[in-house]
C-alpha cells in the first residue's frame, strides 16, 4: 500500500520540530480528516537555510511533511513557492488515492509559511 519512501519518512521523519524566532510560520488543517501541519522557516539571503515541521496526523501526512522539507531546504523562496502537492507525492513514489489529501497539506503549509515570511519582511 505504501512505498518504501513513505515508510522511511514516516518512521524516520526529517526536520521535525520548531524554530524559535522563525522568519516565517504557516499552518494548514485538512477539513476532511483533521490532520494539521505547521511549518517554520529560517531564511538567509532569500535561501531557506532551515525548515522544521510539526504534524499531527496519519503516517502519510508525516511522510509528506518530511519529504517536503527535504525538497526545499537550500532552495530560494521563489523555487520553494512553486513546489506542488503532486511533486511531494511523486517524491514519495506516490500515495494511495485516499491519502493524497495528506500531500496537499505539505505544500500548502509551506506556501503559508512563505507568505508569512514575505509579509513580515514588508
Catalytic residues: 33, 102
Phi, psi of 33 (to 5 degrees): -135, -10
Which of 111, 8, 5, 98 lies closest to 51, judged by CA? 111
Stretch (H or E) spanning 24: strand 24-29
Phi/psi-derived region of residue 21, left when phi > 0, alpha when psi is between -120 and 50, beta in every other case: left
Return the SS3 of 21. Answer: coil
Amino acid at each position: 500500500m505504501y512505498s518504501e519512501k513513505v515508510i522511511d519518512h514516516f518512521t524516520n521523519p526529517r526536520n521535525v520540530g520548531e524554530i524559535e524566532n522563525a522568519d516565517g510560520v504557516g499552518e494548514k488543517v485538512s477539513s476532511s480528516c483533521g490532520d494539521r501541519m505547521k511549518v517554520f522557516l529560517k531564511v538567509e539571503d532569500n535561501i531557506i537555510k532551515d525548515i522544521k515541521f510539526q504534524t499531527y496526523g496519519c503516517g502519510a501526512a508525516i511522510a509528506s511533511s518530511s519529504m517536503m522539507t527535504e525538497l526545499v531546504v537550500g532552495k530560494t523562496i521563489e523555487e520553494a513557492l512553486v513546489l506542488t502537492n503532486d511533486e511531494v507525492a511523486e517524491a514519495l513514489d506516490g500515495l494511495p488515492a485516499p491519502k493524497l489529501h495528506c500531500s496537499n497539506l505539505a505544500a500548502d503549509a509551506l506556501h503559508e509559511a512563505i507568505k508569512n515570511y514575505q509579509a513580515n519582511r514588508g
